[in-house]
Amino acid sequence: MNGRLALAFGGYLMCGIVLGDSDPGATSGANFVRLTPEEIHWQDIPGGHGAQQATIAGDPSGNGLYVQRVKFPPHLMDRPHWHPNDRHVTVIKGTWFTGTGGHFDPRQAVPLKAGSYMLHPGHALHWDGSNSDEEVIVQIVGIGPADTVQADPSQPFWVQLPP
């Protein structure tokens, strides 16, 4: 999957080089997108206890590259789950606490501060969120279609931790 993402990104870059204008300052016909933090449209995640997501680019439910952000309020984590494809996650704000495997134990979570990166390999169990007084925002880049599959659907997906 990493190879597919690298090939897709490389092809995208090559198209820009081959099809681009010879004047690096020219912008006619270019499809630039700029978003300020205020322009990002956050949506509540149903049943997410205040967790929100925003799609920045692409369509996670479709085929192809997508970029999403997820916002975790303080002391909110999700239980073990997996995704069908690799996901590349960068911490934008706060300290994101991460765990791998099927055993959910926030005391064993690894803290990743803003600027950190984590690969979620496709089909690999993991869990994550905010395990502190901080709001956490992560940015996810992946190839769709995206899905989230709970390891144990009999358990609530979201866990509100004590402060």
Q: What would the pLDDT profile of 82-137 be if each residue is shown by its tens digit?
A: 999 999 999 999 999 999 999 999 999 999 999 999 999 999 999 999 999 999 99
Query: What per-residue confidence (pLDDT) applies to 29?
Result: 72
Structural domains in the chain, sorted by start: 33-160 (2.60.120.10)
CB proximity list for 93: less than 8 A, separation 6 or greater = 114, 134, 135, 136, 137
**Pairing between strand 136-144 and 87-93?**
antiparallel
Q: What is the mean pLDDT of the chain?
A: 89
Residue 87: phi, psi to the nearest 5?
-135, 135
Cα gap 132→74, rounded to integer Å: 6
Instruction: 153-158: list long-range contacts, CB under 8 Å, 24+ apart.
Output: 155/79, 156/79, 157/47, 157/78, 157/79, 157/81, 158/47, 158/48, 158/49, 158/51, 158/76, 158/77, 158/78, 158/79
Please give the residue that has the higher pLDDT: either 9 or 105: 105
Q: What is the pTM of this model?
A: 0.82
